[in-house]
Amino acid sequence: MGVYSPENFRVLCIEDEPDILRDLADELADHGFRVDQACSAEAALGKISASMPDLVICDMQMPGMNGLQLLENLRAHKDARALVPFVFLTAFSDRETVINGRKAGADDYLVKPVDYDLLIATVESHLSNAAQRAAAAKQSAVANGTVSQRDVLVERLTTLSADAALAVVKADSHTEVARRFSGNIDAVVARLSRAAGVEAFRLNAHGWAVLGLDSALLARTIEPLVQLRLRDTSRKGSARATLSGVIAPVGKNTPEDEANSLLDRLMESARLLQREGGGQLLEFDGPEMSDVRLASSIRAELITALRQGQLHVCFQPKVSAGSGAPLSAEVLVRWQSPMLGHLSPATFIPVVERAGLLSHLTDWVLRQAAVAQLQLVRNGLPPRLAVNIGGSEFTADLPDRIAAIFAELGAREDLLEVEVTETSMMADPGQAEGIVNALHQRGIGVALDDFGTGYSSLSHLQACPVDTIKIDRSFVQGVGESGPDQKIVLGIIGLARSLGVETVAEGVELESQRRWLAAHECDTLQGYVISRPLRFEDYCALLRAWPKAA
């Protein structure tokens, strides 16, 4: 096989007109290229994050993010995205358009209507030149003895004659300790690999890959590495480091781009294990690797989603159990991604939190709540709102963050309540007490969410005085019928009353549950029997109509 062969290259076509997009893809596929399609720049970003193309053909004028903005987004990165050849499609061939595109980093232009002979010639020219440069660089690296072991591994994966398994082992933390002992780790990896008859590769300063016949063999091979505990006794405090390993199946003759993508996903998974404490070994099968791809896409897309308005908030009313009058609402985040579709908070929030990006999302939701509060006050509607705070965000700086956002927008902190899970609150009761007191000083209410699912004790609740206990939906579901759930909920209501704390039953979905909770002095109800979460306009309309329905 020569340096250039169309089937070795993936071309991404981006065009908002379906007929043009189809024709572009068909023409390129007929000439042997592998083709991905996207109907918008937003969708293209997701595809690029999931699988890097070798060349991008993009319409310049599109709704939402246009082609020029997409190009600027890619060129701003410090990885392969900044270097991918980029060809514009445009109906405008004027000098200013060409100059603007060139300044942003465009490699070429094609004018609509597209001359398909010119299209193929343009694509072949850029990819052939790129292939020749890559081949020359590889030959030079081989000649100089500087070819990376990752490149060797990727090439090995492209020539596998049978299905196999691939593992990545990575230092979890204290990378200076791992680097200090990297030679020792190298020796251990080499010794274990030789004993098991598997191949080992050094990926970077603190990462290694191991290739073997199956996952079970690799698990036995790298388990001693995961059990290693590195300690640098020459430094004060005896800094320590651990290693984590991730194993996944790999097919025979894996294309180069897929091999690189698999390596990246395994490294990302190892980084997630680091955030969860490290020193762990994880094995993936096919479906689980799909989950990793989804997690990677979520992390890659979040900041873009916030900027482009893909996320929105909904409002679920809370009402008085006795009178049925609306009291407040919980602000719930929703994500409709052009690439990933509708994402449940249960899907994306844990990923965002593990990736260390939750602060961006939390601040954004707080801003939405502040803006909504101002509109509710202007319209004479109940303005109290509650916002969920993740465990990693329940820190000493939370009160000041809220204060800064609400002061900037001119909103009132005393009309806000934060909801924190029981487990997060009780992980460090002393710290939690200080945060709760600081919130109370600003007039912000605090609700203990999902009560009954964690490990609160009466002494913890007395030391850390919250304003509200939210009874978890798992207990609420059974209160319509006689049984243990009724006794549990009665116990929680009694405990709350003894502490002078309000109770909110969440997940109230049946009329029988509503009647029982109201009869047994639960203060507030929230759930689908009251209302589903609503967009802000619909929530306001519901509040306006409420007196008529009462």
pLDDT single digits (tens) 239-289:
566 788 888 888 888 887 778 878 877 887 777 666 666 777 877 765 455
Query: Measured between alpha carbons, how far is 545 from 550 in angstroms, rounded to an integer?
Result: 9
pLDDT at residue 144 tops 80: no
Stretch 411-428: mean pLDDT: 86
What band does 415 get if pLDDT is binned at 50, 70 and 90? very high
Please say whether the beta carbons of 65 and 42 come within 8 A.
Answer: yes
Stretch 479-507: mean pLDDT: 89
Strand partners, 314: 332
What band does 2 get if pLDDT is binned at 50, 70 and 90? very low
Task: Using a pLDDT cut of 90, give the percent of the chain over it.
Answer: 28
User: Which residue in 404, 393, 331, 381 sits closest to 357, CA to CA?
Assistant: 393
8-state DSSP, 237: T
- State residue 147's pLDDT score: 58
What band does 538 get if pLDDT is binned at 50, 70 and 90? very high
Average pLDDT, the chain: 82
Write out the DSSP string of 252-274.
TT--HHHHHHHHHHHHHHHHHHH
Query: Measured between alpha carbons, how far is 489 from 493 in angstroms, rounded to an integer?
Result: 6
User: Which residue in 469, 504, 547 sits closest to 329, CA to CA?
Assistant: 504
Helical H segments across 241-329, by residue range: 256-275, 286-308
8-state DSSP, 472: P
User: Which residue in 443, 436, 342 sits closest to 384, CA to CA?
Assistant: 443
- State residue 316's pLDDT score: 95
Q: Which CATH class name applies to 6-144?
A: alpha beta
* Distances 357 to 61, 306, 329, 393, 405 between C-alpha atoms, Å: 31, 12, 25, 10, 18
- State residue 336's pLDDT score: 78
* Distances 102 to 72, 86, 255, 368, 550 between C-alpha atoms, Å: 11, 10, 32, 38, 64
Stretch 171-200: mean pLDDT: 74
- State residue 52's pLDDT score: 81
φ/ψ of residue 38, rounded to 5: -145, 135
Which of 168-172, 236-240, 524-528 reaches the highest mean pLDDT? Answer: 524-528
Identical fold between 6-144 and 302-549: no
CB contact set of 331 (below 8 Å; sequence gap of 6+): 313, 314, 315, 365, 368, 369, 372, 385, 386, 387, 388
Stretch 184-198: mean pLDDT: 84
**Mean pLDDT lowest among 64-73, 78-87, 141-150:** 141-150
Stretch 28-54: mean pLDDT: 84
CATH code linked to domain 149-284: 3.30.70.270
Query: Measured between alpha carbons, how far is 214 from 203 in angstroms, rounded to an integer?
Result: 20
Query: Measured between alpha carbons, how far is 32 from 16 in angstroms, rounded to an integer?
Result: 23
Maximum distance among all Cα pairs of the chain, rounded to whole angstroms: 83
- Residue 434 parent element (H or E): helix 429-441
- State residue 57's pLDDT score: 95
CATH code linked to domain 302-549: 3.20.20.450
pLDDT at residue 422 tops 80: no
What band does 320 get if pLDDT is binned at 50, 70 and 90? very high
- Stronger pLDDT, 348 or 126, i.e. the higher one: 126
pLDDT at residue 174 tops 60: no
Paired tokens of 510: 């049946």
Model-level pTM? Answer: 0.55
**Mean pLDDT lowest among 29-38, 131-140, 201-210, 226-235:** 226-235
What band does 142 get if pLDDT is binned at 50, 70 and 90? low
- Stronger pLDDT, 146 or 24, i.e. the higher one: 24
- State residue 1's pLDDT score: 37
> What digits encode the pLDDT tens for the residues 325-373?
999 999 999 887 766 667 778 777 877 776 677 888 999 999 999 999 9
> Please, how many CA atoms are within 13 Å of residue 288, restricted to the half-sphere of its CB?
10
Instruction: Give me Rg for the CA atoms of the chain.
Output: 28
Q: Left (φ > 0), alpha (ψ -120 to 50) or beta: where does 323 sit?
A: alpha
- Stronger pLDDT, 517 or 184, i.e. the higher one: 517
User: Which residue in 533, 480, 525 sits closest to 502, CA to CA?
Assistant: 525
Q: Which amino acid is at 458?
A: L
pLDDT at residue 549 tops 50: no
**Mean pLDDT lowest among 84-93, 470-479, 524-533:** 84-93
Stretch 306-329: mean pLDDT: 90
Q: Give the 3-state DSSP-derived string for 338-389, with helices as H, strands as E and coil as C.
A: CCCEEECHHHHHHHHHHCCCHHHHHHHHHHHHHHHHHHHHHCCCCCCEEEEE
- State residue 4's pLDDT score: 57
- Residue 526 parent element (H or E): strand 524-526
Q: Which amino acid is at 200?
A: A
Strand partners, 416: 385
Stretch 161-172: mean pLDDT: 85
- State residue 446's pLDDT score: 95
What band does 233 get if pLDDT is binned at 50, 70 and 90? low
Domain boundaries, the chain: 6-144, 149-284, 302-549
Paired tokens of 292: 């990793």
- Stronger pLDDT, 215 or 374, i.e. the higher one: 374
Paired tokens of 105: 């980093």
- State residue 537's pLDDT score: 94
Helical H segments across 31-159, by residue range: 41-50, 67-75, 95-104, 116-144, 149-158
The per-residue b/e assignment along 45-58, b for 16 or more CB within 10 angstroms, e otherwise, is bbbbbbbbbbbbbb
